[in-house]
Amino acid sequence: MIYRYQTKLLVSIFLASIYFFSVNVDPIVAETPEKKITNGFITNIVTNEENTTIISVTESDGKTSNLKINPETNIGIESVAGERWVSIFSEKPQESITRLKDQQSRLIVLTVVHDGESILSISNADKRDLELNLQYLFIVFMIAWIVFFAYIFYLSRRQNAINRDIKLLKSQPSYEKETK
Amino acid sequence: MNRSHFPFLLNTLTTISMVFAIWMVFLWVPTETNQGAVQRILYIHVPIAWGAMVSICIVAVASILYLHNRSAKWDRIAVSSAEAGAIFGSMMLFSGMMWARPVWGVFWTGEAKLVTTLILFLLFVAYLMFRNYFPEGIQQKKIAAVIGIIGAIDTPVIYFAANLWERAHPPLVTGPASDGDSLLSGSIELTLFVSAVAFSLLLFSLINLRYSVHKSEDAVNLFYRNSSIESNTL
């Protein structure tokens, strides 16, 4: 009996699990105690007497975080012409500050990965916004499963059609003659 | 194990592993910090690409065996694998393009890895078109087998393309052909492995399902052919 309903049973289990997992997706699991993500624009850049550069990042809700740039901070930002510039702060500190000031003047939203005090990396948000990219993830999984199920459905229909043919043949007297 | 239990066992294993893989992809593995959520496409793109390459290898091996002993079984396996390969190939291209758009800024670049992958997909399409439009018979099966064997030459080219011609596509970071140890973190590598197992089982389930349909159709067609020969001779 179970074999008769196996395909329906397995497909139901599979679809139920996709539904269950998709409603439980947490899009900010990237955050860990060591790595926090802040999306916002730069409101201030200062270099103090100890030669430490501190950036103020303001988020859309008005919350401002003052974060320190380390020599190891990775920077990946785009110029006004769309050209991407990638560097480590210690390699080109002056140019890094100039380019970050350019981002500040243009109110560009940046994604800052930090540990609450120091910045690990800073880059243009359009490449790193988790929620922005979710649509691509959704489209890929949705289309892939539609295609796989459509193919399984097509094969099942062909199998059913052939089963009907076999049933019909078996009921004909010529079939008995052929198989004897 | 009874042979009639094999499809049920295979389908059940596929469902369980796929449910487990989806749980790992969406709930267990952390989001990669550089690419964000879009990196999760990797867990479907890489196993599907692997499945497409396995398919063309199955087509080639089955074709060689068909040319060797002319058994209809090997021809059916080759056709079934080519059909599943075409599905996997199209999904491989689609998922790759959907990943490339937010990460590279474009859907497609003309680099070697992408072009050879497109060639693989077109080979599957050419194989299936030939099977459908060329008159049925031994000649059709023999030429299709040769197309399948030639198509498999593309597989190692695709596999090593990103390492041979380094451009935008990431090089091999895990697996036997990667340089040194795997560069993936433990959780990402484990999720990728589970997903690869799940999609490999899905591939074998699809091939098995297509094979059984093909076998039934062949049996019915043979019966009709024999009946018509008999009625013509009477």
Say yes or no for a CB contact (<8 Å) between A144 and B223. no
Q: What is the share, in percent, of chain B residues with pLDDT greater than 70? A: 84
User: How many independent structural domains does chain B possess?
Assistant: 1
Mean pLDDT score, B31-37: 74
> Residue B150 pLDDT more than 80?
yes
pLDDT at A27: 43
Mean pLDDT score, A175-179: 56
Q: What are the DSSP calls for chain A, one per residue?
A: -TTTTHHHHHHHHHHHHHHHHHHT--TTTT--SS-EEEEEEEEEEEE-TTS-EEEEEE-TTS-EEEEEEEEEEEEEEE-TTS-EEEEETTTSHHHHHHHHHHHHHTT--EEEEESSSEEEEEEEGGGT-HHHHHHHHHHHHHHHHHHHHHHHHHHHHHHHHHHHHHHHHHHSHHHHHHH-
Contact A87, A96 (CB under 8 A): yes
Buried b / exposed e across A46-60, counting CB within 10 Å, b at 16+? eeeeeeebebbbbee
| Candidate from A29, A136, A162 with C-beta closest to B102 | A136
Residue B92 lies in a domain: yes
Buried b / exposed e across A20-44, counting CB within 10 Å, b at 16+? ebeeeeeeeebeeeeebbbbbbbee
Say yes or no for a CB contact (<8 Å) between B8 and A151. no
Residue B141 lies in a domain: yes
Say yes or no for a CB contact (<8 Å) between B44 and A140. yes
A4 or B135, which is more confident: B135
pLDDT at B106: 79
Residue B10 lies in a domain: no
Residue B139 lies in a domain: yes
Please report which confidence band the pLDDT of residue A169 belongs to, taking 50, 70 and 90 as the band edges.
confident
Least confident of A45-59, A83-97, A121-135: A121-135
pLDDT at B100: 85
Mean pLDDT score, A78-83: 71
Least confident of A47-61, A164-178, B67-81: A164-178
Look up the domain containing B215 and give its range.
40-171+184-233
- Chain A contacts of B31, Cβ < 8 Å? 27-30, 130
Q: What is the share, in percent, of chain A residues with pLDDT greater than 70? A: 74
Name the nearest CA neighbour of A141 among B106, B229, B47, B1.
B47
CB contact residues (below 8 A), chain A span 142-161, against chain B: 143-144, 147-148, 151-152, 155, 158-159
Q: What are the DSSP calls for B90-123, one per residue?
A: HHHHHHHHHHHHHHHSSS----HHHHHHHHHHHH
Q: What angle do CA A115, A116, A122 make, to 5 degrees?
A: 65
pLDDT at B219: 84
Say yes or no for a CB contact (<8 Å) between A35 and B19. no
Mean pLDDT of chain A: 78
Residue B9 lies in a domain: no
> Residue A64 pLDDT more than 50?
yes
Mean pLDDT score, A116-127: 77
Q: Where in chain A is the domain with CATH 2.40.50.140?
A: 36-127
Q: Is the ipTM of this complex over 0.90?
A: no
Please report which confidence band the pLDDT of residue B207 belongs to, taking 50, 70 and 90 as the band edges.
very high
Residues 6+ apart with CB under 8 A from A118: A67, A68, A69, A70, A73
> Residue A85 pLDDT more than 90?
no
Please report which confidence band the pLDDT of residue B160 belongs to, taking 50, 70 and 90 as the band edges.
confident
Distance from CA of B100 to the nearest CA of A (A): 10
Mean pLDDT score, A26-37: 57
Please report which confidence band the pLDDT of residue B39 belongs to, taking 50, 70 and 90 as the band edges.
confident
Mean pLDDT of chain B: 84
> Residue A28 pLDDT more than 70?
no
Contact B205, B11 (CB under 8 A): yes
- CA distances for B213 relative to B55, B71, B99, B123, B218, angstroms: 18, 17, 35, 23, 9
> Residue B57 pLDDT more than 90?
yes
> Residue B38 pLDDT more than 90?
no
pLDDT at B183: 57
Contact A69, A54 (CB under 8 A): yes
Q: Domain A36-127 in CATH: superfamily?
A: Nucleic acid-binding proteins (2.40.50.140)
B4 or B123, which is more confident: B123
> Residue B151 pLDDT more than 60?
yes
pLDDT at A26: 47
> Residue A65 pLDDT more than 50?
yes
Q: What are the DSSP calls for B48-90, one per residue?
A: HHHHHHHHHHHHHHHHHHHHHH--HHHHHHHHHHHHHHHHHHH
Mean pLDDT score, A56-72: 87
